[in-house]
C-alpha cells in the first residue's frame, strides 16, 4: 500500500502546523537540499506546450530517492472556473523503484513557491527590507505575503492587479488570516505600488511576453522576486532591467532558466548566479545595499523533491487519518503477475492442476 496525501489531508497538515510555519520549515528543507546540489541528477523539466497552456513533468533524484511532479499552467482556466495551476507528485525508492508516496501538489506548489521566494530574498534582499509591492494578486499572492511577513519581517504590502476583484480577494483573505501588523495599501498602478518598495514581487499569469516592470520603476537597492515568468514566451520584466550594470540575477537551475526564465530574453552569455552557489558560498547574492538583485524564479524539481520528503515526514509525525492506495499489487510470486488477475476459483483450479 502506498501512502497518499489528498486535498483534505494536506489541508489538515497545513492547519495543524500553521501556514507560515509550514513555509518556513519547507524553506529550511529546500535550503538544506540546495547545499547538497552536486548529489542530484538534474535536468530541465519536460514540457508539452499548446496555444492555451503547458503540461510539464519535473523529475529529479539524489540516488536514494526519486521524485517527479506533474504540473500544468493554463492561464485561461479561471474564465471557466478552473485553476490555472494543478499538480501532483510521486516519491519513490531508487533501490526498488517502488513509489512510497503519492501526494497532491497544487496547494503544496503554491506553498513551496512562496517558501522559495522568501528563502531567496533572505539571501539577496537588504536585511532592512520592510516594504513589498505585490504585482498580480491572484492565486499565489496570499502565500507570498504570508511567507515574506513571517520570514523577512515585511510590514507594508502595496498591492496592484489589473483585476480589482483579485485585490479585493487578497485583502479579505489576509484579514481573515490575521495580518493585523501589516499595513496593506491598494494602489492604482504598478508604478504607484513599487514606489518606495524594498522588494517587488511579480506574480502575473498571462502566457505572453509582458512588460510588468519597466526600467524607470526600479530603484537602487531593490530586490525583485520575478515569479510569473515560468515558460518560454512568458516574461514580466523589461530586458533592460536585467542588463542594469548594478544588477545581479539569481536563478535556480541555469539550463532550465535559460529556456523559461526572464533571462530567456537575453543572449546565452549573459551572466547569472545559481542559487546553489549562493548557499554554498561560491557566489554572493548581494555585494552592497545599492545593488539591484533579481530572483528569476521558474520553480525547479529540487524544490518539489524537498516538498515531498517534507510532506512524508509531517504526514507520519502528525498522525491521524493516513489513507493509502493499493497501487502496487502484493503478488505471492513476483514471477507470476498474471496469476493474481485470476479469480479465486481459477486460482484454485491452477493449484489443483499443479498437484
What is the per-residue pLDDT across 94-137, written as a single tens digit (0 to 9) for each?
A: 999 999 999 999 999 999 999 999 999 999 999 999 999 999 99
Residue of 175, 319, 288 whose CA lies nearest to 223: 288
Query: Are residues 162 and 310 both part of a single domain?
Result: no
Catalytic residue among 33, 65, 198, 230: 230
Query: Are residues 195 and 257 both part of a single domain?
Result: yes
Residue of 22, 60, 53 whose CA lies nearest to 39: 60
Query: Are residues 70 and 211 both part of a single domain?
Result: no
C-alpha cell at 280: 554554498
pTM: 0.94
Q: What is the pLDDT of residue 207?
A: 64
User: What are the residues whose beta carbons fall under 8 Å from the beta carbon of 217, sequence distance 6 or more?
Assistant: 190, 191, 194, 195
- Find the mean pLDDT for residues 312-336: 88
Query: Are residues 218 and 278 both part of a single domain?
Result: yes
CATH number at residue 47: 3.30.1780.10
C-alpha cell at 36: 547538497
C-alpha cell at 197: 518598495
Q: What is the pLDDT of residue 120?
A: 98
How many structural domains is the chain composed of?
A: 2
| Distance from C-alpha of 211 to C-alpha of 209, rounded to nearest angstrom | 7
For the stretch 151-193, pLDDT in tens is: 999 999 999 999 999 999 999 999 999 988 899 999 999 999 9
Q: How far is CA 249 from CA 115, 121, 236, 237, 272, in A?
A: 19, 12, 14, 12, 5
Does position 354 have pLDDT exceeding 70, yes or no?
A: no
Domain that includes residue 314, residue range: 2-107+303-339
Query: Are residues 59 and 151 both part of a single domain?
Result: no
Active site residue 230: yes
Amino acid at each position: 500500500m502506498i501512502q497518499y496525501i489528498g486535498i483534505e489531508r494536506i489541508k489538515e497538515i497545513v492547519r495543524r502546523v500553521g501556514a507560515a510555519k509550514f513555509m518556513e520549515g519547507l524553506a529550511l528543507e529546500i535550503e538544506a537540499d540546495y547545499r547538497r546540489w552536486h548529489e542530484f541528477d538534474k535536468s530541465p523539466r519536460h514540457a508539452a506546450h499548446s496555444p492555451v497552456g503547458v503540461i510539464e513533468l519535473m523529475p529529479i533524484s539524489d540516488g536514494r530517492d526519486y521524485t517527479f511532479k506533474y504540473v500544468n499552467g493554463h492561464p485561461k482556466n479561471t474564465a471557466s472556473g478552473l485553476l490555472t495551476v494543478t499538480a501532483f507528485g510521486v516519491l519513490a525508492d531508487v533501490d526498488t523503484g517502488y513509489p512510497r508516496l503519492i501526494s497532491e501538489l497544487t496547494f503544496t506548489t503554491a506553498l513551496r513557491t512562496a517558501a522559495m521566494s522568501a528563502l531567496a530574498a533572505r539571501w539577496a534582499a537588504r536585511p532592512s527590507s520592510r516594504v513589498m509591492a505585490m504585482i498580480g494578486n491572484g492565486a499565489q499572492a496570499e502565500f507570498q505575503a504570508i511567507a515574506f511577513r513571517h520570514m523577512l519581517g515585511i510590514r507594508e504590502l502595496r498591492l496592484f492587479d489589473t483585476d480589482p476583484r483579485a485585490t479585493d480577494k487578497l485583502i479579505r483573505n489576509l484579514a481573515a488570516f490575521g495580518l493585523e501588523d501589516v499595513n496593506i495599501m491598494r494602489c492604482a498602478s504598478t508604478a504607484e505600488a513599487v514606489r518606495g518598495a524594498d522588494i517587488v514581487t511579480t506574480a502575473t499569469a498571462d502566457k505572453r511576453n509582458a512588460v510588468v516592470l519597466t526600467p524607470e520603476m526600479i530603484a537602487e537597492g531593490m530586490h525583485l522576486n520575478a515569479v510569473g515568468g515560468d515558460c518560454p514566451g512568458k516574461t514580466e520584466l523589461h530586458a533592460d532591467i536585467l542588463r542594469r550594470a548594478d544588477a545581479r540575477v539569481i536563478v535556480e537551475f541555469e539550463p532550465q532558466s535559460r529556456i523559461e526564465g526572464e533571462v530567456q530574453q537575453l543572449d546565452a552569455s549573459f551572466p547569472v548566479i545559481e542559487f546553489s552557489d549562493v548557499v554554498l558560498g561560491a557566489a554572493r547574492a548581494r555585494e552592497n545595499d545599492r545593488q539591484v538583485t533579481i530572483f528569476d524564479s521558474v520553480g525547479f524539481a529540487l524544490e518539489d523533491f524537498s516538498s515531498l520528503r517534507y510532506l512524508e515526514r509531517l504526514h507520519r509525525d502528525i498522525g491521524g487519518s493516513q489513507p493509502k492506495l493499493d497501487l502496487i499489487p502484493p503478488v505471492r510470486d513476483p514471477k507470476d503477475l498474471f496469476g493474481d488477475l485470476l479469480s479465486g476459483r481459477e486460482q484454485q483450479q491452477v493449484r489443483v492442476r499443479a498437484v
